Chains A and B, each alone.
Chain A
């Protein structure tokens, strides 16, 4: 590809061209993603710290996420596996939309952008479903010491599911980090779907056809791949390890 050619470093910084051989918008998207990655990195480091601190009582994900929609069976991690597949798949359709954009192929861009949006929306819905089950918990529940406001003491009580103070599955910190990190990621996916939708409508209207290039697809594509990238790490550190 022509934009990949290396340039003379002596002339590169002399002005009149981008030393990075990328457009301003694309470079700024990359810089934003680095800052966003630092936020996620900080969250995951904090999670890792607390997890090591409470290593002996930390719950195992395969004992927590065992549900699958419409199937009344014990299927550990199956659903999150499917969610991961959906997100990777939507990343592939996104990169195919970018590729179609490089050929100014409006029809293909529309097709692949459409499937990307469908995949993203499915992922957000799946995450809502998983939160629902995590918050509601199992029918049996688990015995915990719960703070009783009236007597001002801890009383023993069977709790179902997880919230910010009690967690059926283990230490409350697990639920806190689960809500915060998957919530933060889920919000990224949600905003990604919204941004993709706006760009999709612009493609339909022919905005980029008139402009002569589909770089906007590439920029939102960068954001979308980043969301997938973060999920790869969240998936490993929350569910597999």
Chain B
């Protein structure tokens, strides 16, 4: 055994495969592509249908979008990045630290993010903007009120 350990197994060469194996791999990759394309188109159709419907912005719609995103992410990591073909321990080394960190992050968003949104905890928002958002929700569409139209009634509320 060499002192410099240059007799390590050559993992680069172990990844090589034959023409026949390549055909199977390619067929699988294209199938993954079609699935991902279908998911993306489905998301866009749902996303463009939603604004006119009552279920726009509902929790279940958000859960659906996040679930589809995780499905796509899974396909990318497992098939495209070949993590599904690595040894078990390597999968854990890559995924576990990240999962632990992100579960903490998600907790922060859902818990701290909501209570910090109480009016006393946030910086003052332009009152014109609040009014516009209310108009948008009421279905008046995105447009600017004529300059000066609302000037008088909101003048006192302006930032100081």
Contacts and interface: CB of A to CB of B under 8 A. Distances in A.
Given A42-B105, A54-B117, A99-B22, A240 B43 contact: yes
Interface residues of B, number: 88
Interface in B11-30: 11-19, 21-22, 25-26, 29-30
Contact of B69 (A212, A213, A233): A233
Contacts of B65: 236, 240-241
Given A4-B87, A57-B125, A215-B12, A236 B29 contact: no
A56 B57 CA distance: 12
B76 A225 contact: yes
Contacts, number: 234
Query: Interface residues of A: mostly helix, strand, loop or mixed?
Result: helix
A48 B62 CA distance: 13
B89 interface: yes
B3 interface: no
A240 B41 CA distance: 12
Interface in B108-160: 108-110, 112-114, 116-117, 121-122, 125-130, 132-133, 136, 142-145, 147-148, 150-151, 158-160
Contact of A143 (B9, B81, B145): B145
B18 to A, nearest CB: 7
A71 interface: no
Query: Interface residues of B: mostly helix, strand, loop or mixed?
Result: helix
A173 to B, nearest CB: 9
Contacts of A149: none
A21 B127 CA distance: 60
B125 A54 contact: yes
B77 A229 contact: yes
B133 A95 contact: no
Contacts of B13: 212-213
A7 B89 CA distance: 10
B143 A232 contact: no
A6 B87 contact: yes
A141 B144 contact: yes
A107 interface: no
Nearest to B47: A240
B8 A3 contact: no
A142 B144 contact: yes
Interface of B: 1, 5, 7-9, 11-19, 21-22, 25-26, 29-30, 33, 36-37, 40-41, 43-44, 47-48, 51, 57, 62, 65-66, 68-69, 72-73, 76-77, 79-82, 85-90, 93-94, 97-98, 101-102, 105-106, 108-110, 112-114, 116-117, 121-122, 125-130, 132-133, 136, 142-145, 147-148, 150-151, 158-160
